[in-house]
Structure 1
Amino acid sequence: MELVYTGKTKNVYKLEDGNYLLKFKDDVTGENGVFDPGANTVGLSIEGAGKAGLRLTTFFFEKINEKGIPTHFVSADIDNNTMTVLPATLFGQGVEVICRYRAVGSFLKRYGRYVTEGQELDAYVEVTLKDDDRNDPLITDDGLAMLGIMTLEEYKTLTELTKKIGAVVKEELAKKGLELYDIKFEFGRVGEDKHIALIDEISGGNMRAFKGPEYIEPLKLEQLMLNE
């Protein structure tokens, strides 16, 4: 295997058959030792976080694939903390797409004059550029098109997929009495036709979930979703 990328929460290897292998780590994003799915730095390391993230990611990718929504997921090896995926081309240097159901986190910081904490949102979609040096700036559909990162049609598809996938995750959490406040996705172009597909992971480290007023930490989220 050839190591092609060392990430904050996982490493990426190229396989001989052209597919890629993602190796999940125990590092999670946050600041000052506090977990934050929206942060762009590693804040802490939680033992077992990598395996928990992979288990939950596998669970969600299989649900999403069953519904015919395109992803890069091929298979997972839980014991070795690895996931095999199809090759994907990033949009620019990478974009992150956030789907918000409650006004919390950076959304509340920006728009607190107009919303109250925890106010319901109707699957509000935001796109940010992956750029640690510039704190992952927000960008509009027009901006993405003008900079040649994606077309307006691709943006529309990406938004539609985000809402569909977010709904799947939200529904599965609701079955366990949990509420999804927000979730972060990544997308890329996959296959010869370069269709837009969900890539990366869907784990507790990518979302905020609550049980009533209680915030559910990533490891506990995985346990509640898969072990009960």
Structure 2
Amino acid sequence: MNRRRRIYEGKAKILFEGPEPGTLVQYFKDDATAGNGAKHDVIDGKGVLNNRISEFIFSKLNGLGIPTHFIRRINMREQLIKEVEIIPLEIIVRNVAAGSLVKRLGLEPGTQLPRSIIEFCYKDDALNDPMVSEEHITAFGWATPQELDDIMSLAIRVNDFLSGLFMGVGIQLVDFKIEVGRLYEGDMMRIVLADEISPDNCRLWDIKTRNKLDKDRFREDLGGLVDAYREVAQRLGILVEAENALTTGPRLVQ
């Protein structure tokens, strides 16, 4: 990694210059963070699982014609992606009351929402990623009205797919966060899904037990984060159970 030009480093990933113009290499770290980095730990194996789960989901989305930045997985920790201009927003899709929504509105955790709700936050760690409205987004030029329509349409399509995917393996998609970017191809520009989709940015509950299979295990000091991520991967058919899995970790299906 030292010989490649580092473009950007975030809390959970590093972006390196790609092998061809218009491409980047996305490296998944083992770092776990919460509260915009206020809580931090390194959890062995987390990056490998997130890389593989995100690859699986983005490949499925690509196959459905939902535009993403994903090209292919390179190795256990890296993906080849298209370079995009990231729009400084976090797009949160909520199906069930949890997290900050519970605190803000006094809802009972686990309450099914009347319909899926899309919220926006301005990406700025120094400001603690404040929630913003559609009016803020267009007024400050973070996205145009047409881009905002495209973003919301993309978020709804992703939610429909993910809800069905996880329900099929006994997991409830409570909520998730995505990021999007502008992909320029010649004279054309389109909004595409970027970043990752993994238990790091989805709330996933076992349908029967309500057991949490996501980063809330780290946020709430529940422990067993890698075991939970591994279970998600196994249910999706990404990992093959090995007799000595507890000592050797997950074996990836090539």
Same fold (TM over 0.5): yes
- Render the CA deviation track for 1:185-217: whole Å, top value 9, x for unaligned: 010001232200000111111111011321113
Residue in structure 2 matching 1:227, options 239, 247, 252: 239
Which residue type is aligned with residue 197 of structure 1? V
Structure 1 residue 44, shift from structure 2 partner: 2.3
Report what 1:116 is aligned to. 108
1:104 is matched with 98
- Structure 1 residue 200 corresponds to structure 2 residue 195: yes
Match of 1:82 among 78, 82, 91: 78
| Matches of 1:82 and 1:134, distance apart in 2 | 30
Distance 2:183 2:58 in 1: 15
Which is further off, 180-189 or 115-124? 115-124
Is 2:123 the counterpart of 1:130?
yes
- Asked if the contact 1:87/1:190 (under 8 Å) is kept, the reply is yes
Query: What number of residue pairs does the alignment pair up?
Result: 215
Deviation for aligned residue 1:147: 0.3
Unaligned regions of 5+ residues in structure 2, if any? 214-227, 241-254
**Residue aligning to 1:56:** 53
Query: If the length of structure 2 is used for normalisation, what is the TM-score?
Result: 0.81
Q: 1:148-167 counterparts in 2 under 5 A? A: 148-167=141-160
Corresponding residue number in structure 1 for 2:245: none
CA offsets per residue over residues 84-137 of structure 1, 9 Å max, x none?
11110022xx2111111111001111111xx32211122211111111111100
Tell me which residue corresponds to 1:33: none
Matched residue, 1:168? 161
Q: Name the structure 1 match of 2:132.
A: 139
1:8 aligns to 2:11 (yes or no): yes
Q: Of the candidates 185, 210, 214, which is equivalent to residue 205 of structure 2? A: 210
CA distance in 1, matches of 2:141, 2:8: 24
Between the aligned partners of 1:22 and 1:111, the Cα distance in structure 2 is 37
Structure 1 residue 143 displacement after superposition = 0.6
Q: Which protein has greater RCO, CA pairs closer than 8 Å, 6+ apart?
A: 1
Q: CA deviation at 1:152?
A: 1.4
Structure 1 residue matching 2:8: 3-state secondary structure: strand
Question: For the structure 1 residues 166 and 221, does the alpha-carbon distance in structure 2 shift closer, same or farther, using more than 3 Å as the test?
Answer: same
TM norm structure 1:
0.90
Q: Which amino acid aligns with 2:24?
A: Y
For 1:40 and 1:155, how far apart are their aligned partners in 2?
25
Cα offset, 1:16, TM superposition: 4.0
Give the superposed CA RMSD: 1.4
Partner Cα distance (1:143, 1:58) in 2: 33
Q: Contact 1:55–1:78 at 8 Å: present in 2 too?
A: no
Q: Deviations over 1:114-172 (max 9, x none)?
A: x3221112221111111111110011111111001101121111011101111111111
Q: Which residue of 2 aligns with 1:36?
A: none
Long gaps (5+) in structure 1: 31-38
